[in-house]
């Protein structure tokens, strides 16, 4: 048994995103108001708060206003209010039709919303948390769950530092700490590896639809001042995905002559030859999108999986010793394509629940009423109204699914007395390679489209090279023995960072994992058809370092 330093807190929060930081701020606000002493620690695996945060992002400020009513006077980084809101149907690589405002689902209207860098918002929230007395530890990964003798979660163990690739201890070895808490809140973001373990350990998803995911790929561009249109929001559906996959594109104009462009690809696609990364490169060449980028310079790149199953896929949120919240649980509203305000609200509700429990006369390990707290809040009602959005799109496709959702959201306010479910996990939707042909992806031109390695370079991704691989294969024979003959080894294509390669040398094939390239998107953990890959946290501070994303 490794001897570890033990630090004890009332609350430990895992993950420095909007959910975790909102939890921390709200608990300390209540403690200060009541003049109570409560110790709260937040750990974040990124090198700094915001380093691993990536989102579109158009944000509804509703939850932020609840948490900090005077956020504007406090200098929160919400500067660009939406003033142009467009939805286009792309029918081909050159054709587009702008939909009238009345044709857009009400949930996609963005009046009163802001175009922001979510990374910058989390940095600001972290400042508020520290000012309130929260101990914030960036660069510390939550590597393991810590259980007590009764099987309750009693905290987390941070990752060991200085472990060599072969498992031996280097001169720099430092064992991780045991951070013990009365309650541990997990807010790791989509497909958090400890959240995944908790859901399996306590069967939190029993009786629920499987979680469904999209892969969001995004770039940040500097554009000439004369091309900048701050406040412009453009969403698209249709091409380049068409019948191959669900999803859609986005382009937003920020302040400071910057534009973000991205594509979300639903991960229930069937064709193993499809490459979400290359579909995104095609997307930028559409005239509707290209005119906003030509003459500009790409300055950052990133990708992240999105939990978009919604209400039907939301697991039980409590377990002995803590709660699971935000995108770790899957609170994103897919009908709005927004998860920041919902993540923040889930964190605030968790804070209220945990704070009340800490003031009680006797300790209760499982806060089982938290699910009802969330269900009865505006967050629960919002997610219930959007419950059919994703399963209907999966069953009827983008066009007819969109028509149903327009009727449901615009006429019936999400209250049609029907409930749809998609019970097929995304990985199980992939079909064998002999049923499909490979798309003809053109070579990047270096102006609008680029190769994977140059993109990864712009994500500022770095890992300590001499460390155990954090992309673990349950069976090392499956990539070449099963996935290659059946699915043409799709890891080569669904990964947006060039992590996985099938290398041919001297008449033999080998499966190569370039873990140094990993941008922590979690797609491999989700989409591998054999469910053979498990993403675990690497050494603390490893991964991307996103600026302004």
User: Is residue 41 annotated as part of the catalytic site, yes or no?
Assistant: no
What separation in angstroms does the CA of 63 have from each of 30, 185, 330, 331, 352?
16, 19, 17, 13, 14
Catalytic residue among 123, 191, 304, 387: 304
Catalytic residue among 47, 55, 141, 228: 55
Contact 44, 16 (CB under 8 A): yes
Catalytic residue among 41, 117, 521, 537: 521
- The closest alpha carbon to 267, from 324, 321, 210, belongs to 210
* Sheet with 213-222, edge to edge strand ranges: 96-98, 84-90, 232-238, 247-253, 258-266, 213-222, 297-307
Contact 535, 468 (CB under 8 A): no
Query: In sequence order, what are the residues at sequence separation of 6 or more whose Cβ sits closer than 8 angstroms to the Cβ of residue 387?
Result: 310, 311, 312, 414, 419
Contact 194, 20 (CB under 8 A): no
Dist CA 445 CA 274 (whole Å)? 20
Pairing of strands 6-14, 232-238: unpaired
Catalytic residue among 340, 449, 455, 537: 340
Backbone CA torsion sign across 306, 310, 316, 317: positive
User: Is residue 521 annotated as part of the catalytic site, yes or no?
Assistant: yes
Dist CA 53 CA 549 (whole Å)? 7
Catalytic residue among 187, 327, 518, 537: 518
| Count of all residues that appear for the chain in the document | 549
Structural element, H or E, at residue 510: strand 508-513
User: Is residue 55 annotated as part of the catalytic site, yes or no?
Assistant: yes
Contact 54, 497 (CB under 8 A): no
CA angle 365, 15, 276 (to 5 degrees): 125
Query: In sequence order, what are the residues at sequence separation of 6 or more whose Cβ sits closer than 8 angstroms to the Cβ of residue 152?
Result: 320, 321, 365
Catalytic residue among 455, 495, 523, 537: 495
Contact 454, 447 (CB under 8 A): no
Contact 122, 136 (CB under 8 A): no
Which of the 8 DSSP states describes residue 356?
Answer: H
Record the tokens describing residue 524, joined without a space.
Answer: 């491999």
User: Is residue 524 annotated as part of the catalytic site, yes or no?
Assistant: yes
User: Is residue 472 annotated as part of the catalytic site, yes or no?
Assistant: no
Dist CA 156 CA 322 (whole Å)? 11
Record the tokens describing residue 436, joined without a space.
Answer: 């499909």
The number of helix segments (H) and strand segments (E) in the chain equals 17, 24
Record the tokens describing residue 376, joined without a space.
Answer: 């009865």
Dist CA 224 CA 246 (whole Å)? 33
Dist CA 368 CA 323 (whole Å)? 9
User: Is residue 26 annotated as part of the catalytic site, yes or no?
Assistant: no
- The closest alpha carbon to 386, from 411, 415, 407, belongs to 415
Dist CA 58 CA 258 (whole Å)? 14
Could you report how far apart the first and last alpha carbons of the chain are, in Å? 41
Active site residues: 55, 304, 340, 495, 518, 521, 524
């Amino acid at each position: 048994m490794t001897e570890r330093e033990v630090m004890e807190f009332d609350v430990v929060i895992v993950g420095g995103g909007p959910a975790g930081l909102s939890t921390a701020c709200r608990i300390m606000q209540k403690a200060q108001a009541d003049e109570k002493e409560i110790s709260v620690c937040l750990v974040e695996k990124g090198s700094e708060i915001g380093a691993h945060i990536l989102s579109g992002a158009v944000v509804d400020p509703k939850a932020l206003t609840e948490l900090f009513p005077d956020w504007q006077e406090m200098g929160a980084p919400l500067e660009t209010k939406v003033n142009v809101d467009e939805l286009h149907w792309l029918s081909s690589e050159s054709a587009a039709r702008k939909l009238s405002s009345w044709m857009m689902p009400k949930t996609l209207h963005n009046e009163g919303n802001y175009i922001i860098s979510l990374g910058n918002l989390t940095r600001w929230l972290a400042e508020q948390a520290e000012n309130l007395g929260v101990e914030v530890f960036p660069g510390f990964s939550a590597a393991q769950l810590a259980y007590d003798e009764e099987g309750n979660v009693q905290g987390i163990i941070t990752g060991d530092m200085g472990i060599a690739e072969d498992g031996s201890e280097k001169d720099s070895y430092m064992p991780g700490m045991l951070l013990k808490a009365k309650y541990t809140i997990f807010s790791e973001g989509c497909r958090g590896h400890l959240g995944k373990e908790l859901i399996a350990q306590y069967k939190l998803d029993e009786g629920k639809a499987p979680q469904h995911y999209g892969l969001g790929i995004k770039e940040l561009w500097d554009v000439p001042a004369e091309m900048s249109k701050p406040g412009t929001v453009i969403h698209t559906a249709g091409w380049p995905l068409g019948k191959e996959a669900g999803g859609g594109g986005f382009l937003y104009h920020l302040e400071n002559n910057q534009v973000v462009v991205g594509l979300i690809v639903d991960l229930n696609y069937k064709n193993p030859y499809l490459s979400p990364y290359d579909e995104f490169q095609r997307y930028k060449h559409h005239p509707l999108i290209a005119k906003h980028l030509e003459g500009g310079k790409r300055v950052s790149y990133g990708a992240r999986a999105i939990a978009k199953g919604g209400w039907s896929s939301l697991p039980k949120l409590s377990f002995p010793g803590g709660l699971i919240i935000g995108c770790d649980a899957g609170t994103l509203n897919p009908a709005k394509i927004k998860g920041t305000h919902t993540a923040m609200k889930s964190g605030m509700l968790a804070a209220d629940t945990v704070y009340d429990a800490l003031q009680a006369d006797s300790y209760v390990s499982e806060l089982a009423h938290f699910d009802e707290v969330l269900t009865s809040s505006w967050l629960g009602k919002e997610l219930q109204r959007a419950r059919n959005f994703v399963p209907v799109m999966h069953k009827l496709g983008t066009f007819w699914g969109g028509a149903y959702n327009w009727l449901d959201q615009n006429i019936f306010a999400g209250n049609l007395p029907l409930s749809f479910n998609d019970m097929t996990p995304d990985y199980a939707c992939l079909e064998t390679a002999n049923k499909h042909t490979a798309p003809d992806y053109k070579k990047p031109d270096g102006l609008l489209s680029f190769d994977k390695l140059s993109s990864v370079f712009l994500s500022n991704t770095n890992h300590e090279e001499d460390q155990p691989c954090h992309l673990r294969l349950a069976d090392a024979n499956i990539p070449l023995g099963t996935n290659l003959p059946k699915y043409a080894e799709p890891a080569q294509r669904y990964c947006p960072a060039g992590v996985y390669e099938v290398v041919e040398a001297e008449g033999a094939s080998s499966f190569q994992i370039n873990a140094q390239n990993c941008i922590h998107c979690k797609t491999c953990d989700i989409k591998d058809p054999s469910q053979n890959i498990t993403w675990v946290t690497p050494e603390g501070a490893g991964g991307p370092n996103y600026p302004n994303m």
